[in-house]
Amino acid sequence: MRSAELTTKLRDMSSTPAASHRIGIVLFDDVEELDAVGPWEVLAHWTGTFAQDGYTVTCLSPNGQAVTAAKGLVIGAHAALEDTPMLDVLLHPGGLGTRRLLRDPAYLDWIRAQRRSVTLMTSVCTGALVYAAAGLLHDRPATTHWSAVNELRALDPTVRIAEHQRWVDDGDIVTSAGVSAGIDMALHLVDRLAGRDRAREVRRGIQYDPNPPI
């Protein structure tokens, strides 16, 4: 399923406010803080301010407990992976903790199980490495943090890496580059799921207007 067809399906699902469609953000020890919190800010502002769009967002961790992120921030979760409700969108951040996940067969099986039921799989930064290890990116375009391009290529040489793109939308899988790129990708998701005007309202609401000072 590619972008136009999938976008129509997701917008149709969100047209009934009573039906809440779920977005899940995965958390784990040594997750890169902004990989998770940046998209959370975008998606939580959207879903909280515009509940009529019919989406909610929640954070998931392996045991439902708080995780300690890469730079020491402790981040709470709403549910354990085993209690994950049926999701419409899954967002997988990156960070040093992904390297451990790459070697965890049970975790990769969980990712594959989500792939079978989740309409839209997304990643930030080295979250793409986890997707590649689970076989989700085979012969597909994707991106990741610039420093992890060779790791992604080694995990699956068939991945068509777009290393200079902020995000890559391949229909039912969307990957983004490193750290702050997750904010841009999350706004893109709002655009896809609720329309350009809504995405602009969210961007204004969080006062996100990139203009690097250096």
Catalytic residue numbers?
A: 125
What gap in Å lies between CA 127 and CA 113, rounded to an integer? 16
| Alpha-helix residue ranges (DSSP H) falling in the chain | 3-13, 33-49, 97-101, 105-117, 127-133, 149-155, 181-194, 196-205
**For tokens 């939580």, what's the residue?**
44
Cβ-contact 127, 98 below 8 angstroms:
yes
What gap in Å lies between CA 26 and CA 80, rounded to an integer? 10
